[in-house]
Chain A
Amino acid sequence: MTKLTDLTVTEAVALLDKKEITAVELTEQHIVAAERGQKETNAFILTTFDQAREAAKASDARRAAGKAGAMDGVPIAMKDLYCTKGVQTTAGSKILEGFVPTYESTVSQKLADAGCVTLGKANLDEFAMGSGNITSAFGNVISPWSGAEPSKAARKLIPGGSSGGTAAAVAGRFAMAGTGTDTGGSIRFPSSVTGIVGIKPTYGRCSRYGIIAYASSLDQAGPMARSVADTALMLREMAGYDPKDSTSIHIPVPDYTKALGQSVKGLKIGIPREYRLEGLPAEIAAFWDKGAQMLRDAGAEVVDISLPHTEYALPTYYIIAPAEASSNLARYDGVRFGLRVPGDNLIDMYEKTRGAGFGVEVRRRILMGTYVLSAGYYDAYYKKAQQVRRLIRNDFLDAFKQCDLVLTPTATSTAFGIGEKDDDPIQMYLTDVFTVTLNLAGLPGMSLPIGLAADGLPMGLQLIGRPFEEETLFKAASALEKAVGFTAKPAFVG
């Protein structure tokens, strides 16, 4: 029999429903794997195995009573940006160490209602600011993957960020799925470099209530798992209008699992010429072409499109996101929660608390954000970025007159080594060149594996859809997944 840790969520739920396995067995095997996984990868800031065991027992009881939810008994990782009642929530920051929320985020509550068993709070870049999971105050996450080349095998690789703990746990087979959040690529980039599937839904699809804010007009919650079907199921359980989030949209959530396996015949797939960057590695361009050909073979039509303002997306993002962050993070002042460093007076207490509690990257973004919002610079930077943001959104809305979906690489490289891009913040920012555009435009996008590169590491392609048309994404992604047949596992899993 296959190891239970190798099952997808969809397979596990089927076996649970047939009473061939129990939630207790499934959880116990994942806990054993997670104990080792934690030592090797540091994927969790906090493990909650005892609560997971209790939750698994309760799940078996619900199933026996015929009251099982859609994901009942499935062990997952919860990004430590989601507030969980009674369980420490840190956002990867020293400033929130020891913070125990007295309320639950809407999305984590929905997953609990669906029966998910949470194994722990997954590590992340501090306040979700990073692409490598190397800015967490609780240590770097190390990818379960190691490269084929000796030079890569010897290095410790990033799992991508900011949802790096979730990516490591899911790719390392010690969580069946997990939650991420995505402000500029924080679900899709980690998914790409760890060979899993992740979707950032349309802005407004999932409630942001109880998810610690980074940049509120860009942040979205989404699922990460090892199959397209699993992310479809999980997103269905996570999504929906929430009166507690005024930006969540009041429209019905379709059953995304119904889109799986539907024909892509006649779908128009746009290939944006501006994404064929100068210096894009030939290998990645070849994967991109291969993905387009696979969709063509499945009956889709491939068309060239233009997204003329693409090159301005990253600079736009690095004005808007820090601006929103500087305002969101003003709440960490040592008064109501988290760290407090005594000072000579109130302002001194604020300054010392924030200086001691925030890491270098967070401080950098707070300074940038404060600067672009300050008197005299607001119009030149912040307002201008908001104007370019509209141009970027218009690019997509125009392109979607000619196509139903857009296909691009998720990233310009496979995983890099920890410490390799630390010197220059801009080098790290460039990681998100193919992913930030969607956050600015509010569109849904997903990353799924296309294969292993020559260095033995996974690489993803990204599909981008029209607002609230996640079903089309799932339809095309399931066709692509079938054609790719990605089965590679990190050597770590054994």
Chain B
Amino acid sequence: MSMDIETVRKIARLARLKIPAEQEQSAADDMTKILNWVGQLDKLDVSGVEPLANVNDGNLGWREKDEVTDGGYASDILANAPEKMADFFTVPKVVE
């Protein structure tokens, strides 16, 4: 399969990632190469195989009590904010 620039733009938009125009072609070429390479998996018949998301699935304990054990330090949370106002992160205006 071959990845075109249109698809790269679409994926980049989904990923909220700006790819400079002059790098779009090489991004498409890289993705084509990688997708063809991972396409090896098509040789395998995996019908009926249960997907494995995490090796510890089913092996994890429940939280003993559902209670708040952490929090209450807004200034720590905001310490690295690029922009803030009072106890809030700020972003460009979203609602007109």
Q: Is the CB of A385 within 8 A of B41?
A: yes
The stretch of A51-59, A185-193, A345-353, A483-491 in contact with B is A345-353
Q: Is the CB of A389 within 8 A of B34?
A: no
Q: Is the CB of B17 within 8 A of A363?
A: yes
B82 to chain A: which residues have CB within 8 Å?
334-335, 337-340
Interface size on A, residues (CB 8 A): 70
With A326-B15, A339-B82, A349-B91 as contacts: A368 and B34 at CB distance below 8 Å: yes
A103 to chain B: which residues have CB within 8 Å?
76
Q: Is the CB of B46 within 8 A of A367?
A: no
* Interface flags, B27-70, vs A, CB<8A=1, else 0: 10011011101111100101001111111100111000000000
The stretch of A20-28, A262-270, A310-318 in contact with B is A310-318
- What's the Cα separation between A335 and B91 when bound, in Å? 7
Interface size on B, residues (CB 8 A): 48
Name the one of A100, A316, A340 contacting B83, with C-beta atoms under 8 angstroms: A340
Nearest CB to that of B3 among chain A residues? Answer: A371
Q: Is the CB of B40 within 8 A of A247?
A: no
B80 to chain A: which residues have CB within 8 Å?
98-102, 336-338
With A103-B76, A217-B54, A389-B52 as contacts: A347 and B38 at CB distance below 8 Å: no
B73 to chain A: which residues have CB within 8 Å?
102
- The smallest beta-carbon distance between A429 and chain B, in angstroms, is 8
B46 to chain A: which residues have CB within 8 Å?
384, 387-388, 391
Name the one of B20, B34, B60, B83 contacting A355, with C-beta atoms under 8 angstroms: B20
* Interface flags, B1-39, vs A, CB<8A=1, else 0: 000000010011111111110000001001101110111
| Given A249-B60, A363-B27, 14 more pairs with CB closer than 8 A | A204-B56, A247-B54, A249-B59, A315-B39, A346-B91, A351-B12, A352-B18, A354-B16, A367-B12, A367-B27, A368-B31, A383-B51, A387-B52, A426-B34
Binding site for B on A (CB under 8 A): 98-103, 203-204, 217, 246-247, 249-250, 309, 311-312, 315-316, 318-319, 326, 330, 333-340, 342-352, 354-356, 358, 363-364, 366-368, 370-371, 374, 381, 383-391, 393, 424-426, 441-442, 467
**A-B contact list, 14 entries, CB within 8 Å:** A247-B54, A311-B40, A316-B38, A334-B82, A340-B83, A345-B92, A346-B94, A351-B18, A355-B17, A355-B20, A367-B27, A371-B11, A387-B46, A390-B49
Binding site for A on B (CB under 8 A): 8, 11-20, 27, 30-31, 33-35, 37-41, 44, 46, 49-56, 59-61, 73, 76-77, 79-83, 89, 91-94
